[in-house]
Chain A
Amino acid sequence: MQRRIMITGMGVISAIGQNIPEYGQSLRAGRCGIGTLKSVGEPAISVTMGAEIGNFSLETRLQQYAFLPEALIQNAQQYARRSPYAIQTSVVSALEAWENAQLHENPISPERLGIVIAGNNLSQHYQYDNYPKFQQTPEYLSPRYPLHFMDTDQVGTLSELFHIQGEGFTVGGASASGNVAIIKGYQLIQLGIVDACLVVGALADLSPMELQGFYNLGAMGGKRFVDEPEKACRPFDKDHEGFIYGQASGCMILESKESAARRGVQGVAEILGGAMILDGNRLTNPSEAGEIRVMELALTQAQIKANELDYLNAHGTSSPLGDETEIKAIRQVFQDHLSRLWINSTKGLTGHCLYSAGVVEAIASIIQMQEGFVHPNINLDNPIDRACLFSGSVSAPEKIEIAMSNSFGFGGINSSIILKKGGE
């Protein structure tokens, strides 16, 4: 039997909002989080812009959850205060989702709770920062280094903090990691392995070396609008030239409808289905055929017809080949429905959050469904395709019942999920 799977809690920390209400306001206002990068230092690199969270303090963030049980907040502080940035931001987004799902008041048995972390290579900046000291005196390397350099530090820290004792692991799917994690969490519940699952999109804390690497690969934008960072990320605009790096962590609590009902919690949305497929390609180029196949497979899984979809949160990274390929694939899948399908890309506001992109964009989709608007594509001055119903420079009021969110990654990884507005 197919179980119905709800999203019962959400949390986020991003460049355009350090919690769900702030993030929602920024989406509606079309606030862009991209600016001059501050965390690079020496040596100077070619990448000068990005959407950084900025002025992050774990202690300050934890204060906003003062109404949560004191022991939970104290533990969060104790476990994470000396952890790398990516762990601290995961703790913050997970606490908000935990509270949002009322898991502190109406708990689930630890053995029935799972956790899936989206992303791998989560501590690159931490490693980069440790390297100079290591070269100087290896003996002084922190004995905590082996704990932190493994991505499963996220699994360990969050599972201890929230007493999660079911299944838990990290998944990697490059820029599709977030969607892959949502799909894996969904499957864990479908299979009856857990009743609820924390899905955490981890912040991609890239070091200057990874940023320069993406630049040298030719994947990054920001050249033409070097003095106007807020204009550099232009998904589906003729002046797009590559992605702009963004920082965010997002968390969603996935839960079976029975479990949510038992706890008296109403879901904010339902996951109708999702699909992940490979192109069989080790390189960076997208595949129209793969993108068509994954969107169609997601529709089949969700038992939804293409013309029932109201809104598509596109992968739309602002890279020319990626944007053009996605639009070609969308045209094929949606055909005559194209003129009624709202399309935007959250990356125009948040930058490309890489591992967490799927999660923060699913959250953006849900907020738009809940509040009835389509957020703007702020830099879409000259669309590459005139037939698509792209949102314009300001938010449009719109009733969205069913949404699709795409994420595609290097290495021929395609993913698509379908969400339905909750509340019934």
Chain B
Amino acid sequence: MTKNEIFQIVKKNTLEILPKVSEDMIMIDQRLKDLGANSIDRMDIVTQTMEDLAIKIPLVELAQVENIQELVDLLYEKKNSSHP
């Protein structure tokens, strides 16, 4: 799975959880916070995306993530190192 595919999944879940956000507002270098996501919304987006990708990331690793790019990188790394 490519990083762009993962970004698309993050985007889909962001749109689902933040109804006031439109697709063209979501840029890879943005922070979810700046799109209006509170801490619960952010956890919701991440949890939903982990489920879609069938991976699990400990909370402590997610705490390091600063923006959507770093989230995608982390998800990409976990996805491609996981062995089904």
Contact = CB atoms under 8 A, between A and B. Distances in A.
Interface of A: 77-78, 81-82, 137, 139-144, 147
A77 B20 CA distance: 11
A143 B50 contact: no
A156 to B, nearest CB: 12
Nearest to B16: A82
A157 to B, nearest CB: 13
A139 B40 contact: no
B51 interface: yes
B15 to A, nearest CB: 13
A144 B40 contact: yes
A140 B40 contact: no
Contact of A147 (B19, B40, B47, B50): B40
Given A78-B19, A137-B56, A147-B40, 18 more contacts: A78-B20, A81-B19, A82-B17, A137-B51, A139-B47, A139-B50, A139-B56, A140-B47, A140-B50, A140-B51, A142-B44, A142-B47, A143-B40, A143-B43, A143-B44, A143-B47, A144-B40, A144-B44
Nearest to A138: B56
Interface string B35-56: 0000010011001001100001
A137 B57 CA distance: 13
A26 B56 CA distance: 52
B77 to A, nearest CB: 17
Interface in B7-46: 17, 19-20, 40, 43-44
Interface string B68-82: 000000000000000
A140 B48 CA distance: 7
A146 to B, nearest CB: 9
Nearest to B43: A143
23 contacts: A77-B19, A78-B19, A78-B20, A81-B19, A82-B17, A137-B51, A137-B56, A139-B47, A139-B50, A139-B56, A140-B47, A140-B50, A140-B51, A141-B47, A142-B44, A142-B47, A143-B40, A143-B43, A143-B44, A143-B47, A144-B40, A144-B44, A147-B40
B40 to A, nearest CB: 6
A51 B19 CA distance: 33
B8 to A, nearest CB: 20
* Chain A to chain B: the 4 pairs with minimum beta-carbon distance, closest first: A143-B43, A140-B51, A139-B56, A143-B44
A199 to B, nearest CB: 29
A81 B18 CA distance: 11
B79 to A, nearest CB: 15
Nearest to A82: B17
